[in-house]
Structure 1
């Protein structure tokens, strides 16, 4: 086994010692090699003593060759010979411990059963695999994405230490498999949408409108993933009780400022909606799914409840950690997480936005400067997707009969946190201001987030900055 820095490993990727005279491995062989490689890496790491994470740990890469006949360091296997590279192993071990993942549980999840292949609704060519216990997602990433993630690790470390409750992706490992001339890089993350819960609707939301409608091919799937324009046509917003709404928007705001500080954009909110009234909870393997919920802060409800105790289970196991919500007269469970965070606003993205802005309204396309992207994303989530419920008081009996709650526009509650007695004209003015130019100088001069008022920064608060991270 060899240990090198990230730069030396990446420069040497093309000159790998892995055999190149074999035909390309099958998908099944690659899946098996991924599981075997991760199992070997975790087992080997267990022999290393625990210690504090040092700065150089974020850039370290361990490399080992695993021949099919085995060696004095590696087990024999029935896959083609392959080389395994483990990125920042000590740092990722710390992240797993932070989320309460024991090495034996991680090994069991990753290696006990064959991985389940998932479809990819996005524009990327990534492959997605799910562990049989529903805990972890394994996603293939490009070389630049893996490199970007490793550069993010120090900031990711700082962010998780400050706030482990986040809707950003939870990263548990980064690996590279080189087999018969094929190089596959994979990242292990948390699973946002549990299979044991029927998702009646799935959305990939960015807060933009340009080409943000599911394709005809996607709509024909048994479980399609819709987009922003589809949501606006199919729903009138998801309504939460005031405390839940506040916690959700506070978490989203904090996470977006983290991403902005890293100059990350083009991320999405993956949203799964289960309609509780339809009684379509998938019973198969439910016991296994509950048993598999080992990871702290892994559910949507845990991710936004900053004051809740981690050891406290959900009130009803049938919710599987979903966030209670309401749409019209239907009771819902919401599952969500921010995905696709490995897109930095580099030159190629600046050129892409400039070209699209010549043809389309520049404010509607998804590729944008990070500050504007974050503000537009939060505005869309807080005014269109998520809304706050208030008890109905003093309304007519007819109105009471139709709805127990009077729903206030979240665009007023979230984007313009003014007192109720202030005029509607002032509220509209505050909302219009958000659609204007993003004041980068104002944002750069601020280094903290006003968490006591999750919406303050959107209406012009100087507390508009700091932090970043995550990818998918």
Structure 2
């Protein structure tokens, strides 16, 4: 049976507005940082959908994720409309973050909520450094050769971290990226910040256990917080006054790390030492509390400004320290921190870690050793360039002498 019709049916047309998904922009003063923030946000979100493997496989150390973005909707003043993001060994670094008790969402928040802050800690390599806005993480630019060295190093580094249950003074490598902006490739590695994000560092040293050409330059000394070197350290008569038990524990970890580096024929690494003077810190905190609110140097973390006065390298923006009790809370907040021993002449907190661990004792270093031997003589044992075994032995001896026991 057919149903009669009275003419063509009339349907009421409803105008449907197409909703475009809002593109999250990451505003930074450098296009590179905008792309980095976008990339970390994307890669961490993608990893959240990947199941955690029971164990890492050799292929995981060669793996990468890669993305090319062509988006004309981006405001070019904030974000390039064409860029590429490559994350190296994503599962390896996720596993390392887990070993170092760093949650992926916290990592993403620190690196994307507000732009990383340029840091003036540059060495001979010419690398650029940045801090996450909350000062928890450090970004360092790499060369393509250093990326290759990192790949080679990771295969040994990851098993060592597993074996040590994360107990190490080696850099905590958390992610490595290649960012292509305006056709230029940039490489960045993320590590945990050695220094505190709530206690200021008042003195800073880069120590190799070497005495030849190992003093801060005039240019370095002009900085608000210069990086001093071995001869400066010796002239000042600095002692790491932590007591016998803490000294034994520190040297055990340091010796294990140095033996690991020696087996890989690595040398030229440094001990990074930061000193927080508790009395001075309390006075700065008191001064910060006394300032009127509009004079506070702490910034809103969502600010688009390219600077942030809560800088790990200088006594600025000290308001957040307030009245923290040092005992009991320091190891919990700062994994690299060791407080001075009870009864020490001066109450201090020491931040100690190894840095710059990827230099291989190859042809260049052997040539440098030969050149320095000609210049200073073969009997000088203070030159920084020497074979890995000799370097490691001298390094441990230097640090052991610098630590005050009983």
8 A contact 2:136–2:197 mirrored in 1: no
2:81 is the alignment partner of 1:66: no
Structure 2: stretches of 5+ with no match in the other structure: 1-27, 289-296, 302-325
Which of 195, 198, 208 pairs up with 1:206? Answer: 208
8 A contact 1:212–1:228 mirrored in 2: yes
Which of 323, 345, 358 pairs up with 2:338? Answer: 323
Q: What is the rounded CA distance, in whole Å, between the counterparts of 1:281 and 1:186 in structure 2?
A: 34
Report what 2:398 is aligned to.
Answer: 380
Which of 334, 348, 358 pairs up with 1:342? Answer: 358
Q: What is the rounded CA distance, in whole Å, between the counterparts of 1:248 and 1:101 in structure 2?
A: 22
Report what 2:125 is aligned to.
Answer: 124
Which of 243, 251, 254 pairs up with 1:252? Answer: 254
8 A contact 1:118–1:127 mirrored in 2: yes
Deviations 1:73-96 (CA, angstroms, capped at 9, x unpaired): xxxx83241111111111111111
Deviations 1:241-286 (CA, angstroms, capped at 9, x unpaired): 1110100111111110111111110011110011112224656769
Q: 1:135 to 1:274 in 2, by over 3 A?
A: same
8 A contact 2:147–2:187 mirrored in 1: yes
Q: What is the rounded CA distance, in whole Å, between the counterparts of 1:329 and 1:82 in structure 2?
A: 55
Work out which of the two has the higher radius of gyration on C-alpha atoms and give 1 or 2: 2
8 A contact 1:68–1:78 mirrored in 2: no
* 1:103 CA drift (Å): 2.1
Deviations 1:11-33 (CA, angstroms, capped at 9, x unpaired): xxxxxxxxxxxxxxx96111111
* 1:316 CA drift (Å): 3.1
Q: What is the rounded CA distance, in whole Å, between the counterparts of 1:80 and 1:68 in structure 2?
A: 5
**Could you state the TM-score of these two structures normalised by the residue count of structure 1?**
0.67
* 1:161 CA drift (Å): 0.7
Report what 2:172 is aligned to.
Answer: 170
- The SS at the match of 2:178 is strand
Q: What is the rounded CA distance, in whole Å, between the counterparts of 1:240 and 1:103 in structure 2?
A: 33
Report what 2:58 is aligned to.
Answer: 55
Q: What is the rounded CA distance, in whole Å, between the counterparts of 1:242 and 1:195 in structure 2?
A: 27
Report what 1:103 is aligned to.
Answer: 104
Q: 1:265 to 1:318 in 2, by over 3 A?
A: closer
Report what 2:16 is aligned to.
Answer: none
8 A contact 2:268–2:359 mirrored in 1: yes
Q: 1:58 to 1:329 in 2, by over 3 A?
A: same
8 A contact 1:198–1:281 mirrored in 2: no
Structure 1: stretches of 5+ with no match in the other structure: 1-25, 72-76, 289-312, 390-472
Deviations 1:115-168 (CA, angstroms, capped at 9, x unpaired): 111012421211111111221111111111111111111211111111111110
Deviations 1:303-325 (CA, angstroms, capped at 9, x unpaired): xxxxxxxxxx9713599533112
8 A contact 1:197–1:320 mirrored in 2: no
Q: What is the rounded CA distance, in whole Å, between the counterparts of 2:284 and 2:261 in structure 1?
A: 34
Q: What is the rounded CA distance, in whole Å, between the counterparts of 1:266 and 1:194 in structure 2?
A: 25
Where does structure 1 differ by over 4 angstroms across 4 or more consecutive aligned residues? 280-286, 317-320
Report what 1:139 is aligned to.
Answer: 140
Aligned 1:68-467 pairs, distance under 5 A: 68-69=71-72, 78-163=79-164, 164-278=166-280, 279-280=282-283, 315-316=328-329, 320-321=333-334, 322-325=337-340, 329-362=345-378, 363-383=381-401, 385-389=402-406
- The SS at the match of 1:374 is helix
